[in-house]
A and B are shown apart, each in its own frame.
Chain A
Amino acid sequence: MHHEPQRPAGVCCTGRVTANAAVSTGLIRLDLELEMPAEFLPGQFAMLNPQPGSAAFVFNRPFSIYGIDGQAVSFLYRIVGRGTAAMGELVGEDRVGFMGPLGRPFPVREDDRPALLLGGGVGLPPVAAWLERWGRDGDLACFGARDGGDAPWQLLDARWGVSVDEVAGVPENRTAFHGRVTALGADRVAGVKGPGLVLACGPVPLLKAARDLARDIAWECWLSLEEHMGCGYGVCKGCVVPVRVDGPDDRTWRNATCCDEGPVFAAADIAWERYALPSVPEPGPGTMEAKP
């Protein structure tokens, strides 16, 4: 049974940008020097505001913590919207709002079971941080990229297997598996004496494939979910995930707050039949679709 560790206390401050540079065609590493020291457990995240002290952003943006060393903290991100576009503009000495660490971490390593780590894109930091903190011989680390150019090769040492959807851009001195990262994981885990742990972070298709792989090999599975968040610390209830309940009444599921009760969940706890369903409203009479 997994014992949840005591979460480190959160700090709320700003950080000075010390580096903000591309590590692949799509991924950018941001390093900050915080005003005060912080700690974290792998799988935890922080809320960042690229323009603190202004009203430019109503909400901060959540990012998994890649590493913290005293006051130095690092993240990986990809420009996908207005917030990350503003982060892409940050230069040395700019200040970033920081609140963290937040959320439930991955399980701590408590036994000798091997771990299969699966990270896709910006899902690398939580699993990489776990490997850095608790990794040992026999663990299997796999990173999935869109193509060879999208993989941050200098962050991926010899422990890492890399998969690519497209083979273009793989450096000559590196090799990559052509296919999904979960297929690479299945390939590498074959023959490994289990049971072990599967820890994964990435988009929903990756998480579902990781869940299926873990089920097929009867390994325990923990997933770090990537959800849009409002507050990041459990007060707004804007990032809920359906989880199974075994209550005395007829309810079989409830909404769990992803930022506080997650972002790491046991795969077995998620009510998958209700998770990540499209919940788009019906078109109204005034929409284009309703017109002849």
Chain B
Amino acid sequence: MTPPAWWRTDPTEPFVLGPRVMPGRIWTASGCFGYGLSAHDVTAPGGRTPYTGLGAVVTKTVTPTPRGGNPMPRLAELPTGALNSIGLENVGLDAFLADTLPELERRGVPTVVSLAATQPQEFGSMCQRLAAVAAGFDHWHGVELNLSCPNVAEGGHDFGSDPVTVAACVAAARPHLPDRALLAKITPNVARIAPLALAAQEAGVDAVSAINTVVGLEVDLTTGRPVLPRRFGGYSGPGILPIALAKVDELVSSGVTTVGVGGISTGDDALRFFALGVVSVQVGTALMRDPMAAAGIAAELTPAVR
């Protein structure tokens, strides 16, 4: 690609986000790169690795206790994206703190930990435990509160779509993270996204990550029934790029510090978000096809490599 004249930022240079200096502006999105350890032995021509130039790996979302996730099938490939219904399968906070996070630290992987819970106060207790275990970790840079996963139906409603609840989650987490970045990932499945983001910002996040997946459904024409056992899933990939850009534009225009996510698979896609004023971007579904996708975008947008 030939980068446009207005682009003068080196996305692999550190930048300040709240109380933290983040190592770079190209991140992996939660749920799309596991816990950040699955590709540690992968190399590409020229000795490149999936971690070259990354600003952060946002981990797969961790919940207070382990979750087994949803029944198969969990994925459907569509012409312009993917529909998933994984169900927040994860190892749980105990195993994550005992095994995964220390391994990420040992390997020097810049890490943002994604957390989910079903009650606002749980975010506080999870962050408290995280901060106690990882206080001395150099490569743990922050927390992203997953306030928008549409797959988990506990309680029968999406509690991340209510500004008051969003603020309560952030307020519970913030006091435990005085020297780490705090982000909230919010749902796009609302008419206006800015009120949610402003509630999060006023309650103390350093940035809002937007967007998470868009609710979708695919029908199997051979059976006449939805492909996914839970009918609905989260739609991601290139097809949601314009939706993400519109939501991000609404946020930035409202004065929200924003991390852009949604449909990024090339350097040009990332630049579209930077043009709107985001501080960093996350690469998601593209990593499922290519573990080098985020590192490739970082290289593409780094001036010395152009």
Expressed in whole angstroms, the minimum distance between the Cβ of B290 and any Cβ of chain A is 7
**B4 contacts A by Cβ under 8 Å:** no
Q: Which residues on the A side are within 8 Å of B229 (C-beta)?
A: 279-281
Chief secondary structure at chain B's binding surface: loop
**A283 contacts B by Cβ under 8 Å:** yes
The answer to whether A240 and B224 touch across the interface, beta carbons within 8 angstroms, is no
**B38 contacts A by Cβ under 8 Å:** yes
Q: Which residues on the A side are within 8 Å of B157 (C-beta)?
A: none
The size of the chain A interface, using a CB distance under 8 A, is 38
Shortest Cβ distance from B265 into A: residue: A55
Q: Which residues on the B side are within 8 Å of A36 (C-beta)?
A: 44-45
The answer to whether B228 and A58 touch across the interface, beta carbons within 8 angstroms, is no
A211-245 at interface with B (beta carbon < 8 Å): 228, 230-231, 233-240
The answer to whether A280 and B223 touch across the interface, beta carbons within 8 angstroms, is yes
The contact size tier of chain B is 35 or more
A76-98 at interface with B (beta carbon < 8 Å): 97
Most buried by B among A57, A228, A235: A235
User: For the complex, what is the distance from the CA of A236 to the CA of B82, rounded to whole Å?
Assistant: 11
Expressed in whole angstroms, the minimum distance between the Cβ of B228 and any Cβ of chain A is 7
**A254 contacts B by Cβ under 8 Å:** yes
B271-306 at interface with A (beta carbon < 8 Å): 285, 287-292
Q: Which residues on the A side are within 8 Å of B268 (C-beta)?
A: none
Contact residue among B72, B226, B288 (Cβ-Cβ distance under 8 Å from A59): B288
Q: Which residues on the A side are within 8 Å of B81 (C-beta)?
A: 58
Question: Which of B94-102, B142-150, B230-238, B253-261 has 4 or more CB atoms under 8 Å from chain A?
Answer: B230-238
The answer to whether B75 and A281 touch across the interface, beta carbons within 8 angstroms, is no
Q: Which residues on the B side are within 8 Å of A9 (C-beta)?
A: 41-43
Shortest Cβ distance from A11 into B: residue: B43
The answer to whether B69 and A283 touch across the interface, beta carbons within 8 angstroms, is no
Q: Which residues on the B side are within 8 Å of A237 (C-beta)?
A: 60, 69, 74, 86, 89
User: For the complex, what is the distance from the CA of A9 to the CA of B45, rounded to whole Å?
Assistant: 13
Contact residue among A13, A49, A58 (Cβ-Cβ distance under 8 Å from B285): A58
Question: Which of A173-181, A200-208, A284-292 has 4 or more CB atoms under 8 Å from chain B?
Answer: A284-292
**Contacts known (A99-B291, A230-B288); A12 close to B44, Cβ less than 8 A:** yes
B214-262 at interface with A (beta carbon < 8 Å): 223-226, 228-231, 237-238
The answer to whether A236 and B68 touch across the interface, beta carbons within 8 angstroms, is no
A252-272 toward B: CB 8 Å interface, digit per residue (1/0)? 001100001000000000000
Contact residue among A35, A240, A280 (Cβ-Cβ distance under 8 Å from B89): A240
The 9 closest A-B pairs by CB, nearest first: A235-B34, A238-B75, A231-B288, A234-B38, A9-B41, A10-B42, A279-B71, A279-B229, A12-B44
- Given A12-B50, A58-B288, A279-B71, output 15 extra A-B contacts at Cβ < 8 Å: A10-B43, A12-B43, A49-B289, A55-B80, A57-B77, A58-B81, A97-B289, A235-B34, A236-B31, A236-B84, A237-B60, A238-B84, A239-B75, A280-B229, A284-B226
